[in-house]
Structures are given as structure tokens and as C-alpha cells.
């Protein structure tokens, strides 16, 4: 089987939608991104840490000492990266929204033997590799509380670091997105 080498260019991205198109929306980047600039393929969420930035977005971050990303405010995947350093709050970024008809292609860190069709319909976590600066489907999540995605397809089973198709769970998306499902 094939082997994919993850790199700084590995990232989740929109894959397909039952509607035939994606819900794309622009949001203002929070000034908090000066420490975590948003790039294409980053999982983004509303800035929940400041009262005056409720409609501004930030790159999702991991829990302490583990790669899993946990939130109940995910918006989706950035399809446009920041051009600045995050010091201003006027930059608009386009996000592919995590709504129920959109599936995303996710990189993994799976050995070929673990990259199988048995992943379909499983709930998995979103991980973040700080060395590569990439979000990925984390197969090693240990609790149901870590789950943020449901796998809907496996691309080329048996591929090391292969790709999976997944949708965001409605329970981890911002009410702005999940109110409809």
C-alpha cells in the first residue's frame, strides 16, 4: 500500500456536500490570533475568551498536554489564511462552515493496518500536531468526550497516514451553525 508523508501542507479541507455547494462565510479575525495566526486548513471557532469578540474567530487550540482539540464552538475549516500578524481586528477570513451536509477530507497519523473501512461511522477526535502545524483526525482519543468528528469514508484503505472523510458532530459546533440540526 501507499504511504503519505504528512507535512506542513497537510490539512483538512472541504471534500463534498450533499447540497452540491459549501456554506462559505466571512468572519473577522480576533486580535487574539497574533499568537496563533489562522492558516488555510485550520479548524476555527468563535473567540470565546473575550466578551467583545463574540463574532470574531480564532484558531482552535488543544487541551493541555494532549493533541486533542475540544470545543463546543467550532465553526468549520478556514479556506483562507490570514495575511497579517493578527495585530488588527479588521481582516476578514473565509470559513467553510461545519454544517451537516458538508464532509471534510482529514489527514491522519494511522499505520496502514489501522487505516481501514472499519473506521466508518466511528466518532473520533480532532488532533493538532504543533510541529507540523496541522489538524488531523486523531484515532487515539480515549473518551467519548473527545469525539468531534464522525467518519463517513476512508480514502484508499491501507494507506499509512491516509485520508478519511468526516463530518463535525452537531454537539461540538457553535449554536450559530448547529441550530439547524
Burial level of 126, CB count in 10 A (0-12/13-18/19+)? buried
Query: pTM of the predicted model, to two decimals?
Result: 0.87
Mean pLDDT per 10-residue section of the chain, whose length is 181 residues? 82 93 91 73 85 76 64 88 68 92 95 91 90 89 78 93 93 76 52
Amino acid at each position: 500500500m501507499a504511504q503519505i508523508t504528512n507535512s506542513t501542507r497537510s490539512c483538512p479541507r472541504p471534500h463534498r456536500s450533499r447540497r452540491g455547494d459549501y456554506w462559505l462565510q466571512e468572519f473577522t479575525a480576533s486580535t487574539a490570533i497574533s499568537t496563533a495566526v489562522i492558516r488555510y486548513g485550520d479548524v476555527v471557532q468563535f473567540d470565546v475568551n473575550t466578551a467583545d469578540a463574540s463574532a470574531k474567530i480564532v484558531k482552535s487550540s488543544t487541551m493541555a498536554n494532549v493533541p486533542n482539540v475540544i470545543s463546543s464552538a467550532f465553526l468549520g475549516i478556514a479556506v483562507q489564511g490570514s495575511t497579517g500578524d493578527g495585530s488588527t481586528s479588521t481582516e476578514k477570513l473565509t470559513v467553510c462552515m461545519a454544517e451537516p451536509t458538508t464532509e471534510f477530507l482529514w489527514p491522519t497519523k494511522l499505520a496502514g493496518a489501522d487505516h481501514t473501512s472499519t473506521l466508518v461511522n466511528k466518532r473520533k477526535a480532532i488532533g493538532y500536531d504543533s510541529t507540523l502545524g496541522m489538524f488531523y483526525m486523531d484515532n487515539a482519543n480515549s473518551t467519548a468526550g473527545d469525539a468531534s468528528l464522525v467518519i463517513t469514508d476512508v480514502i484508499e484503505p491501507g494507506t499509512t497516514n491516509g485520508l478519511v472523510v468526516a463530518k463535525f458532530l452537531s454537539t461540538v459546533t457553535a449554536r450559530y451553525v448547529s441550530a439547524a440540526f
